[in-house]
Chains A and B, each alone.
Chain A
Amino acid sequence: MAALKDTTAIAGIGQTPFARRLPSSEKTLACQAILAALDDAGIPPSQVDAFASYTMEETDEVEIAKAIGAGDVTFFAKAGYGGGGSCATVAHLAAAIATGQATVGVAWRSRKRGSGPRPWRNTTAQLPTPAQWTRPYGLLRPVDEIAVLARRYMHEYGATRDHFCNVALACRNRAHQNPAAVMHDRPLTREAYMDARWISEPLCLFDNCLETDGALACVVVPADRARDCRHPPVYVHSAAQGLPAQHHGMVNYWNDDPLTGPSWTAARHLWKTADFGPEDVDVAQIYDAFTPLIPLSLEGYGFCGRGEGAAFTEGGALEPGGRLPLNTAGGGLSEAYVHGFNLINEGVRQLRGHSTAQVPGATTCLVTAGEGVPTSALLLRS
């Protein structure tokens, strides 16, 4: 059986500015990010022969390939479930390259969520299955769906708003160090968090990610080629997707154990093929559309036991010097919400030693896609 482990690497990363409103189209932003990533790798666009994206992406391979001047493309894939598919793009490219289907793969994300409409407002698209069971009752938005799970989690394990605030503060503090972050100059305090308006109790404004315009991309190549590129290779050590048995997506209320989600499934596969375990992870980029996803993911990926994710956030564990520095560019909560792709690029920067909140000597990084929907994850190493 062909092995994925360390046979491919991320050789280039690129991104546009992030803002609530950018004038360029999603297609233009995508091309800018992709060309920046290829330039970062030192690879001409004509050598690109693979593409990977994930759903809720409005640009496609045909438009992108002809715009950037890609060559003949022999692999293209699109992973499902929006923010659950971010890491799957790199996983699919790595699998294609490791099995000889392509040699230079580009994964990308371009979004105008900051200036565009919210997906939940489109009731024609949102109301059919399974929303017939939820939307009529006013469970309208992703935040409402997660608020239900968050309250149950608080009830079962004694988690508090202080724990969710620990997550929000860690991300905001890292954004404060990152000039590219939307919230770079907007400090947050625990008092401001506690006084913030509700969005869906028990979740307040600062439990929610940003809405951002912007695009990112990365380039995946064979490991031996990556060693000839401009930056040290960041190896794809392990990759996994996760759709648990009897899972129901964001409204995961209908199985025996709603508080164990896709992270648990992805994690089991991720660690099975890895040379190291959770205790060896130096820094983590964990999908943070909502703060409660962090304690759930910490449990799912094995950094602590069941029900211990909230307590894990105490004592500065997610801050520099803590047990697991988190979302070191600010994450979706405070850098940019581009469906988690910014977490991949920040993972690469950490392992190159180039983060604005660099973890000294970091050699391993976990990157995750959205918990709460069918998900994906990567273990990166330098």
Chain B
Amino acid sequence: MSPTPPMPSMDSTSSIMQGTTDNGLLAPWPDEDGAPFWEFAARGELRVQGCADCHRLRFPPRPCCPHCQSFGSEWRRMTGRGRIWSYAVPHPPLLPAYAELAPYNVVVVELAEAPHIRLVGNVVTASDAPLDSVDPALLRIGAPVRVAFAELAGGVTVPRWLLERP
């Protein structure tokens, strides 16, 4: 287990709070509980909230532990390895920036070290490749993936996923 680094602060006026990025794709809109996830992502680290007392992981982040009710939390670093749990391939009608990329994939990835922790994301050919860069026919449930971090146009960093065996 990695030690928990100092809790990052969330500047409510930063670009991450603006809702959309320059290219029209939506940026994450963090709440108080979720803000550390995005700050760590900006450093290229995939971290998940865990309980500081009973040490069980939980996602999405929330104020207290549903198992032991502790308000203490730690942000544990994940290896970034996972498997596709399921996926959808959206087609229009969509918001304009997404309609331009459709059909694209949206995957739910279960993390290798914590399969009950699942992250929604996109499988792409490279961290900075567009959402439609992988042929949906190449996707299958169970396929191993690894995380890569993409900086969106608005200066916001989100995790994306690369196929281990493209």
Q: A139-B106, A200-B88 are in contact. Are A123 and B19 (CB under 8 A)?
A: yes
> Please, what's the 1-or-0 string for A182-203, where 1 marks a CB less than 8 Å from any CB in chain B?
0000000000000001111111
Please give the residue numbers on chain A whose beta carbons come within 8 Å of chain B beta carbons, in ascending order. Answer: 118, 121, 123-124, 127-141, 144, 147-149, 151-152, 155, 197-203, 246, 248, 251, 253-256
In angstroms, how far is the closest chain A Cβ from the Cβ of B12? Answer: 13
Q: A129-B34, A137-B122, A138-B131 are in contact. Are A151 and B88 (CB under 8 A)?
A: yes
Set of chain B residues within 8 Å of A155, measured between Cβ atoms:
86, 141
A136 lies within 8 A of B28 (CB)? yes
Chain A residue at minimum C-beta to C-beta distance from B119: A133
Known: A123-B20, A137-B131, A201-B103. 6 other contacts (CB 8 A): A127-B29, A132-B31, A199-B91, A200-B88, A253-B85, A254-B116
B59 lies within 8 A of A254 (CB)? yes
Query: Which residues 75-126 in B have Cβ within 8 Å of A in the complex?
Result: 85-91, 93-95, 98, 101, 103-104, 106, 108, 116-122
In angstroms, how far is the closest chain B Cβ from the Cβ of A126? Answer: 9
What interface size band does chain B fall in? 35 or more
> Please, what's the 1-or-0 string for B51-92, where 1 marks a CB less than 8 Å from any CB in chain A?
000000001100000100000000000000000011111110
Q: Tally the A-B contacts, defined by beta carbons under 8 Å.
A: 116
Query: Which residues 17-35 in B have Cβ within 8 Å of A in the complex?
Result: 19-20, 25-31, 33-34
Chain A residue at minimum C-beta to C-beta distance from B152: A136
Please give the residue numbers on chain B whose beta carbons come within 8 Å of chain A beta carbons, in ascending order. Answer: 19-20, 25-31, 33-34, 38, 59-60, 66, 85-91, 93-95, 98, 101, 103-104, 106, 108, 116-122, 131, 136, 141, 152, 158
B91 lies within 8 A of A197 (CB)? yes
B60 lies within 8 A of A121 (CB)? no
Task: State A148–B30 Cα separation when bound (angstroms).
Answer: 23
**Could you list 22 examples of A-B contacts with CB < 8 Å?**
A121-B95, A123-B19, A123-B95, A124-B19, A127-B19, A128-B29, A128-B31, A129-B60, A133-B120, A138-B101, A139-B90, A139-B106, A140-B98, A144-B106, A147-B89, A147-B90, A148-B88, A151-B141, A197-B91, A199-B90, A200-B91, A254-B60
In angstroms, how far is the closest chain A Cβ from the Cβ of B94? Answer: 6
Q: A129-B34, A132-B34 are in contact. Are A138 and B90 (CB under 8 A)?
A: yes
A198 lies within 8 A of B119 (CB)? no
Partner of B34, one of A121, A123, A133, A149: A133
